[in-house]
Structure 1
């Protein structure tokens, strides 16, 4: 998949170091786990899980994002299956050097268009911590709209967890109406 500035591709086992570097930045992980993901966990759990999704759910998964000009790795974008077969979950994780350049919105829009246009899903959702205002802004700019707020109990909560989690969503009809406008 390609957008104006990004190219998405499936991850391979050779991409381990890219994922380790991405998940080693505490700012990148701030609203996710609050800490770096150990290399062994990425090698033994995270990357094999990503690779497994490609075979189990054709068209879905976590895709390496690279700049079309120069090929620099900027992070990843993903479309994940949900419990509802007509709904997919869109998400992203970008290197800090890629923040503030519009990549998050560009890649998210690309995957939303792909989900409705190619995969023929009925609904796309995304979620984040309520206090993650930058990701919430990306969701809004990507065409997703606030759907709900909920609270979860975590054994080791991150700062801001007490404000809850938010879901944003768009359905096929709304997406189609936006494309005609």
Structure 2
């Protein structure tokens, strides 16, 4: 098992082929997928042929950024995933943070805990100068997480979604934290 990082309660590690059932179950939950696909489940075939191979290829290419399986340290239970990687066309020192957790993991602080650890990793080891995140304006839970971890809302914009998602007419928020802001937070 290739561990990217550990927190008090979480292990973020590389995905493996054996994670397929957990990943399919995560992406099949309409509530988990509400702000990603409008609640449409991702098919097992798509996870098997598109998503998991893409995650594994990033590891094979030696990329330090990527998508990470997230498990509870005390039980080994699969909780979901985090991603930490520059968006297509963005500078390598500006990774985007994201998370998707099982409903059973909601409201327990896991999103904040994993996000803070990835931001710290980005600024201490990966040369990040700015970390960004995006969420739909109507996704109040994700917005709370991003604000709780010290990110600030920098703009609202309209993303083009390939399918209708309830609330998309309100737009999407971009959040960010710079290295200077992170350093200031850590001095306090």
Range into which the TM-score falls when normalised by the shorter chain: over 0.9
Structure 1 residue 154: Cα displacement: 3.5
1:31 to 32, 35, 44: 35
In terms of mean alpha carbon deviation, does 49-58 or 37-46 score higher? 49-58
Partners of 2:159 and 2:11 lie apart in 1 by 35
Residues of 1 paired with 2:92 and 2:104: CA distance?
A: 35
CA 1:153/1:71 → structure 2, altered by over 3 Å: closer, same or farther?
Answer: closer
How many positions carry a matched residue from both structures? 181
Q: Give the SS at the match of 1:32.
A: helix
Separation of aligned partners in 2, 1:89 and 1:4 = 23
| 1:164 is aligned to 2:171 | yes
Unaligned runs of 5+ in 1: none
Q: Which runs of 5+ in 2 are unaligned?
A: none
Once the two structures are superposed, residues 37-71 of structure 1 have per-residue CA deviations (whole angstroms, 9 ceiling, x without a partner) of 00000000011111122233522111111111111
The worse-fitting range, judged by mean Cα deviation, of 81-90 and 166-175 is 81-90
- Return the alpha-carbon distance in structure 2 between the equivalents of residues 137 and 3 of structure 1: 20
Corresponding residue for residue 51 of structure 1: 56
Partner of residue 132 from structure 1, selected from 135, 139, 152: 139
CA distance in 2, matches of 1:53, 1:135: 26
**Secondary structure, counterpart of 2:76 in structure 1:** coil
Q: CA RMSD in A?
A: 1.1
Which residue of 16, 22, 28 maps to 1:18? 22
Matched, 1:68 2:73: yes
Pick one of 121, 126, 130 that aligns with 1:114. Answer: 121
